[in-house]
Structure 1
Amino acid sequence: MNNFLFVAAENDAIPECKAGGMGDVVRDVPRQISERGDKVHVVVPAYSRLHVNGTFRTNLNFQLRGFTYTAELYEVPPKKEFRNITHYVIHHPEIEAGDIAHIYHNDPTEPFYTDAIKYFIFCTAVAEAIKQEVFGKLDVVHLHDWHTSLLLFLRRYHNSYSVLKELRFVYSIHNLAIQGIRPFDDNYSSVTNWFPQVDYDAAELLDYRYQDCINLMAVGIRLADAVHTVSPSYKEDILLPSAPPEFIGGEGLEKDLQQANNEGRLFGILNGCNYKNIRRAKKRTIYRNIIKAIFLWLQEESKKYKAHFLAHTGEKVVPFLVNPPEFICASVARLTEQKFYFFKRSPEALEEILKKLEKINGVFMLLGTGAPEYEKFLRQMSRENKNFIFINGQSEDVIDSIYFESDLYFMPSLFEPCGISQMLAMRNGHPVLVHNTGGLKDTVSHMKTGFKFDGDTYDEKISNMLKSFDEVLDIFLNDKKTWSEIRANAKKVRFTWEKSVDAYYKLLYAL
C-alpha cells in the first residue's frame, strides 16, 4: 500500500474550505487514490475556524523567527467518508481566515504579506509532522500551488528537515499568475525574518523581475521532482512567454518551465470531473433559490454595504417567478481579471450581448464575488441593464440551479489552466461558449459539444466572441436538431478522474 500526503490551501472534501477549482482537485484525487487501495492524508490550514469540530491529534513544535512555535494538528470529519482517507487541519492563531472565501487575504498595498506569513507557519508545521511520522511512512507528498512550495525550500536548505529528501515531491500548478512573491530581507513578512537560521541560495529562489524577492511559485517549479499543469494545452501555453492580453503564457516563468520540461519533470494532465453522487438542484427552483439566498445575505453584517444592490437584484428576479425568460446565458466564477477581463475592458461588448438576448426574451445571469473593482463594475452593469442579473454572493443552491437550468454556459476566460465550470455545465447537457485557451481547448469541441471563439488580436477576439454569440442564438432559435445534438454530445462526454489519476501514477508519482 502506497502512502500519500496532499498539502494544499483548500480542500472541498471538508466543509467551508474552498475558494476555487483547487479545492475540487484536492477533494477528488484522494478519492481515486483510495479506490486503488492506497492511503491518503490531506492537510490544510485551519484558518482559525476549521479545527473547531476536529479531534486534537498532536502538538507540533518548530523554530521560526528565533522562537519556538507550537501548532496543533486536528483530524476533521469530511463531508463524505472514504476508506483510507484522513483529513487534517493545522491550527495556529497566526494562521488567520482571509477576506476571500475566509481563506486568502487580499493585501492590495503589499501583496502576499499576510498569506506568506500564514503559509510559512503552516508549511513548517507540516514539515515537522512529516519528520515525526505523524502521517506514517510516506511515499509521495503532493503539493498544490505556491502556498505549499515552502516545503521544498525546507527540504533543500533546512538542516532539521533533511529527512524530506527521502520522499518524492510532486508540485501542481493551478494558477501560474499568482506567484507568492515576498522579499528575502528587510520586511516582517520576509524569508530571513522567519528563517534566520537557514543558509539558503537566493539565486536559486529569486524572482527574475524583483531580484531581492523569493518567488514561491518558481520554487515549486525549480525544486519539485515532478511538476504538473492541470491540462495538456495549458502546459504548451506556459512554455511560451506571455504577450497580454492576446496571449497569456508562462507569466515570466517560461524559462523555468522549459527547463523542467527538458529535464522530463513537466507534465500536462487534464483534471477530471465527478460524475457520481452529484449534488443536484430541483427543477425550476432557480429564481426561488436566488431570492432565498438574497434574504439570507441581507441578514449578514458583512453584506450590509451591498444591501441596496441585493434588494435591486431581488426586485429584478421576482417577476421571473411568474414569467421566466426564454433563454438563460450564465457564468459562475471568481471575479478576477482572468475570468472577466474581456467584459471589463470592453463593456460595450457585454452590452451588445445583452441586446442580443433581449430580442429573444433572454437574460445573462452571472454569479460571483472577488476583486472589488470587478464587483463594482458588474453591479453598475446590472443597474443599467434590466436583463443582466448579477448575483454578488456565494450560494451552493443557486450555483447548482444555474448549472442545471441555464441554456448556455459562457466562459470568456483570458486564460484557463483547466476549468471545471465547462465540465459541470456539459455534465448537465448544456452547451458552453468558451475562449479557445488552455484547458478549454482540451475540453470543448466546436459545434460538437459547444462553441469556441479566438482571434490573433484583442479586437479580433472581441469581434469573434460576438459573432459566436450570434451563431449560438441562431442555432438555438432556428436549428433545433443541431442544438439537441450539441446538448446530447455535451452530456455524453466524460472527463474522468480515473483516467487522470492513471496518468498521475505513471508520470507524477512514478509508482
Structure 2
Amino acid sequence: MNKFLFVASENDGIENCKVGGVGDVIRDVPRQISDRGDKVDVVVPAYSRLHKEGVLKAKLNLLLRDVTYVAYLYEVPAKEQYDNIRHFVIHHPEIEAGNIGGIYHNDLEEPFYSDVVKYTIFCTAVAEAIKQGHFGKLDIVHLHDWHASLLLFLRNYFPGYSDLRNIRFIYCIHNLAIQGIRPFENSYSSLRNWFPFVNYDTESLKDPRYHECYNLMAMGIRFADAVHTVSPSYKEDVMQPSLPPEFIGGEGLENDLKQADKEGRFYGILNGSEYQNVKVVKKNQLFQNIAGTLFRQLQRETDKAKSDFLAHTGDKVIPLLKKKPKFICASVARLTEQKFYFFKHSPEALLQILDQLAEVDGVYVLLGTGATDYEELLRTVSYKRNNFIFINYQSEDVVDSIYRDSDLYFMPSLFEPCGISQMLAMRNGQPCLVHHTGGLKDTVQHVHTGFAFDGKTYDEKVYNMVESFREALHFFQNKKSSWKQIQDNARKMRFTWKKSVDEYYKLLYDFGGVKPQIAY
C-alpha cells in the first residue's frame, strides 16, 4: 500500500474550501487513489475558519523570521466519507481568509503579498508535520500550483527538512499565468524576511524577468521530481513564449519547462470529470432558480447600486418564467482576463452575439463574480441588452440548472489550462463553443461535439468568435438532425478520472506501472 500527501490551496472534499478547478481536482483524485487501495492525506490552509469543526492533531513549532511560530494541524470532516482518505488543515493567525472566495487575496498594489505570507507559513507547517510523522511514512507528495511549491525550497535548502529528499515530489501546474512572484529582500513577504538564516542559491530561485524576485511557480518546475500540466495541449502551449493577446504560452517560464521536458520529467495529462453519483437536477428550473437567487440577495443587499441591479435583472427574468426563450446560451466563470478578455477588449463582439440571439428569441445567461472592471462592463451590457442576464452572485442551484437547461455553453477563454465547465456541459449533452486553446483543444471537436474558433491575429479571433456563434445558431435552427448528433456526441464523451489517474501512476508516481483500480 502506497501513502500519498496532497498539498494545495483548495479542497472541495471539505466544506467551504473551493474557488476554482483546483478544488475539484483535490476532491476527485484522492478518491481515485483510494479506489486503488492506497492511502491519501490532503492538507490545505484553514483560512481562519476551516479548523473550527476539526480535531486538533498537533502543535507545530516553526522557525520563521528567526523566531518560533506556532501553527496547529487539525483533522477535519469530509463532505463524503471515503476509505483511506483523511483531510487536514493548518491554522495560524496569519493564514487569513482572502477576499476571493474566502481563500485568495487580491493585492492590487503589491501582487501576491498577502498570499505569499500565508502560504509560506502553511508550507513550513506542512514540512514540519511531515518531519514529525503526522501523515505517516509518505511515498508521494503531490503539490498543486505555486501555493504549495515552497515545500521544494525547504526540501532543498532548509537543513531541518533534508529528510524530505527521501520522498518523491510531484508538481502540478493548474495555471501557469499566476506565479507567486515576490522580492528576495526588503519586504515583509520577501524570502530573506522569512528565512534569514537559510543559505540558498539565488540563481536557482529567481524569476527570469525580474531578477530581484523569486518565483514560486519556477521553484515547482525546477525542483520537483516530476511536473505536469492539466492537459496535453496546455503542455505544448507553455513550452512556447507568450505573444499576448494572440497567444498565451510559457509566460517567461518556457525555458524552464523545455528543460524539464528535455530531462524527461514534464508531462501533460488531461484532468477528468465525474460521471458517477452525479447530482440529478430537475429540468426547466433555470429561470425559477435565478429569480429565487435574485430575491434572496435583494433581501440581504444593503448597497443601493447593487440592489438596483438586482431589481433590474429580476425585471428581465420575470417574463421568462412564463415564456421560456427559444435558445439559451450560458457561461459560468470567474470574471478575469483569462475568461473574458475578448469581451473586455471587444465589447462590440458581445453586443453582436446578443443581437444574433435576439433574432432567434434567445438569451445569454452569464454567472460570475470577480474583477471589478469586468463586473462593471457586464452590468453596463445588461442595461443595454434585454436578452443578457448577468447573475453577479454565486448560486449552486443556478449553476446546476445552467448545465442542465442551456442549449449552448460558451467558453471564450483567452487561454485554458484544462477547463472543467465544458466537460460538465457535455456530460448533459450540451454543445460548447470554445476558443481553440489549451485543454479546450483536447475536449471539444468542431462540428462534432461542439464548436471552436481561433485565428492568427487578435482581430481574426474576435471575428471568428462571432462567426462561430452564428454557425452554432445556424445548426440549431436549420440543421436539426446535425445539432441532435452534436448533442449526442457531446453526451457520449468520457473524460474520466480513472484514465487520468492511471497516467499519474504510470508517468508521475513511478511505481513501475499502473496499479489496477479495485473499486468503482
The question of a shared fold, defined as TM-score above 0.5 by the shorter chain, is answered with yes
- Distance in 2 separating the partners of 1:144 and 1:92: 21
- Distance in 2 separating the partners of 1:461 and 1:364: 20
Question: Secondary structure in 1 aligned to 2:295?
Answer: helix
Question: Secondary structure in 2 aligned to 1:41?
Answer: strand
Residue equivalent to 2:248:
248
Structure 1 residues 392-422: Cα deviation after superposition (integer angstroms, max 9, x where no partner): 0111111000010000000011110000000
Residue equivalent to 1:106:
106
What is the letter of the counterpart of residue 41 of structure 1?
Answer: D
Q: CA deviation at 1:304?
A: 6.4
Does the 8 A contact of 1:298 with 1:304 survive in 2? no
Does the 8 A contact of 1:297 with 1:303 survive in 2? no
Residue equivalent to 2:375:
375
Does the 8 A contact of 1:8 with 1:148 survive in 2? yes
- Distance in 1 separating the partners of 2:197 and 2:95: 22
Q: CA deviation at 1:23?
A: 0.6
Residue equivalent to 1:392:
392
Residue equivalent to 2:262:
262
Does the 8 A contact of 2:301 with 2:307 survive in 1? no
Does the 8 A contact of 1:280 with 1:400 survive in 2? no
Residue equivalent to 1:68:
68
What is the letter of the counterpart of residue 75 of structure 2?
Answer: E
Structure 2 CA distance for partners of 1:305 and 1:59, relative to 1, 3 Å: farther
- Please say which of residues 59-68 and 27-36 is displaced more in the overlay: 59-68
- Distance in 2 separating the partners of 1:78 and 1:98: 22
What is the letter of the counterpart of residue 182 of structure 2?
Answer: R
Residue equivalent to 2:516:
none
Structure 1 residues 375-408: Cα deviation after superposition (integer angstroms, max 9, x where no partner): 1111111111110111001111110000100000
Residue equivalent to 2:514:
none
Residue equivalent to 1:94:
94
- Distance in 2 separating the partners of 1:302 and 1:136: 49
Residue equivalent to 2:230:
230
- Count of residue correspondences: 511
Structure 2 CA distance for partners of 1:283 and 1:215, relative to 1, 3 Å: same
- Distance in 2 separating the partners of 1:373 and 1:155: 40
What is the letter of the counterpart of residue 196 of structure 2?
Answer: P
Does the 8 A contact of 2:139 with 2:168 survive in 1? yes
Q: CA deviation at 1:29?
A: 0.4
Residue equivalent to 1:212:
212
Residue equivalent to 2:199:
199
**TM-score when normalising by structure 1:** 0.99
Question: Secondary structure in 2 aligned to 1:328?
Answer: strand
Question: Secondary structure in 1 aligned to 2:53?
Answer: coil
- Distance in 2 separating the partners of 1:114 and 1:47: 12
Residue equivalent to 1:286:
286
Residue equivalent to 2:340:
340
- Distance in 2 separating the partners of 1:370 and 1:265: 35
Q: CA deviation at 1:302?
A: 7.9
Residue equivalent to 2:501:
501
**TM-score when normalising by structure 2:** 0.97
- Distance in 2 separating the partners of 1:194 and 1:100: 25
Structure 1 residues 295-353: Cα deviation after superposition (integer angstroms, max 9, x where no partner): 33234468765222122112211111111111100010000000000011000000000
Question: Secondary structure in 2 aligned to 1:172?
Answer: strand
What is the letter of the counterpart of residue 97 of structure 1?
Answer: A
- Distance in 1 separating the partners of 2:62 and 2:452: 51
- Distance in 1 separating the partners of 2:303 and 2:336: 20
Question: Secondary structure in 2 aligned to 1:356?
Answer: helix
Gaps of 5+ in 1: none
- Distance in 2 separating the partners of 1:299 and 1:10: 30
Question: Secondary structure in 1 aligned to 2:169?
Answer: strand
Q: CA deviation at 1:287?
A: 1.2
Does the 8 A contact of 1:409 with 1:431 survive in 2? yes
Does the 8 A contact of 2:269 with 2:500 survive in 1? yes
Gaps of 5+ in 2: 512-520
